[in-house]
Amino acid sequence: MNFMASKQPENSLLGPEADSQRTLYPYVTGTSVVALKYKDGILMAADMGGSYGSTLRYKSVERIKPIGKHSLLGASGEISDFQEILRYLDELILYDNMWDDGNSLGPKEVHNYLTRVMYNRRNKFNPLWNSLVLGGVKNGQKYLGTVSMIGVNFEDNHVATGFGNHLARPILRQEWHENLSYEDGVRLLEKCMRVLLYRDRSAINKLQIAKITEEGTTISQPYSLKTYWEFSAFANPAQGAVGTW
């Protein structure tokens, strides 16, 4: 007696070849992006690592890119999906420029476009596996927003993706205030990036900080943070308890 009915495929609505076209898991990933509003505009920081699972495959991935005249986009998650998003945005900005009407897409508009793209992809069960941070200044108005891979979007005075949500946001919530100067903003971002460097295993000590103001965009050259490892308890941890580390 054969009680076993033939097994229906789980997603019988899609054919077998459709599976290979959907994003099921990310391969090359970037870790957190942290950004905040300051007096003159937006400051955004991200490290330059692209991890392939647990190996650090790429060490010069630029995860912050300028978009049009008024925005900066930072991404964490799958790097190939980020490159695809850059192509979509390239096309969007190109068409906007072709109108040649003196108007240009501001950060709020780009953020809305990205939200729609991410949400629609998620509805088709084929997400772009990224958490995006979109910041910019247009006509004196500062804007900082974020979109996740399932389409959750909001704007705030300071945002972070990935591990930054758990490690950087508590610091930002406590120490951010209106009208931070440029130096204070960079110091605050570096504080967050240093904690991430200590405690996120996929973070590397090579980061870029990007600034956008009414005048334009500047993305810094890659540099590294100073770290401190000289606590005396780290020197000989087993001193008090043999067999621990």
Partner 1 sequence: MSKSVIEMPPKGGFSFDLCKRNEMLAKKGVSPPSFRKTGTTIVGLIFQDGVILGADTRATEGPIVCDKNCEKIHYMAPNIYCCGAGTAADTEAVTDMVSSQLQLHRYHTGRESRVVTALTLLKRHLFNYQGHVSAALVLGGVDVTGPHLHTIYPHGSTDTLPFATMGSGSLAAMAVFESKYKEGLTRDEGIKLVTEAICSGIFNDLGSGSNVDICVITKGGKEYLRNHLQPNPRTYTSSKGYSFPKKTEVLLTKITPLKEKVEIIEGGDAMEE
- The nearer residue to partner 1, 125 or 198, going by C-beta atoms, is 198
CB of 200 to partner 1, least distance (A): 10
149-208: which residues touch partner 1 (CB under 8 A)? 163, 166-171, 173-174, 191-192, 194-195, 198-199
Answer yes or no: are the C-beta atoms of 68 and 105 closer than 8 Å.
yes
The site that binds partner 1 (CB under 8 A) totals a number of residues, namely 26
Closest separation in Å from C-beta 166 to partner 1: 4
| Per CB under 8 A, 54 contacts partner 1 | no
Given the complex with partner 1, which of 140 and 240 has the nearer CB atom? 240
User: Binder to partner 1 among 1, 4, 5, 241 (CB under 8 A)?
Assistant: 241
146 is catalytic: no
204's enclosing H/E stretch is none
Classify residue 100 by its DSSP letter.
-
Using the minimum distance from each CB to partner 1, give the nearer residue, 86 or 195.
195
The answer to whether 197 and 227 are in contact (CB under 8 A) is: yes
Residue 190 structure tokens: 């570096």
Q: How far is the CB of 53 from partner 1 (least distance, A)?
A: 22
Beta carbon nearer to partner 1, 59 or 199: 199
From 15-23, 46-54, 149-157, 227-235, give the range in contact with partner 1 by CB under 8 A: 227-235
CB 221 within 8 Å of CB 208: yes
Question: Of the listed 23, 213, 217, 244, which one is catalytic?
Answer: 23
The amino acid present at 196, given as its one-letter code, is L
Cβ 180 to partner 1, closest distance in Å?
16
Strand partners for 210? 44, 219
Say how far apart CA 245 and CA 239 lie, in whole Å: 9
| 23, 67, 148, 183 from 114: Cα distances, Å | 18, 12, 10, 31
Asked if residue 36 lies in contact with residue 57, where contact means CB atoms within 8 angstroms, the answer is: no
Q: Which is nearer to partner 1, 107 or 164 (CB)?
A: 164
x/- string (CB under 8 A) for partner 1, residues 104-143?
----------------------------------------
Cα angle value 152/33/40 (rounded, 5°): 95
Any alpha helices (H) in 60-181, and if so which ranges?
79-99, 107-123, 164-175
Q: Is the dihedral of CA 75, 79, 80, 83 positive or negative?
A: positive
Residues forming the site for partner 1 (CB under 8 A):
163, 166-171, 173-174, 191-192, 194-195, 198-199, 231-234, 237-238, 240-242, 244-245
Q: Which residues are catalytic?
A: 23
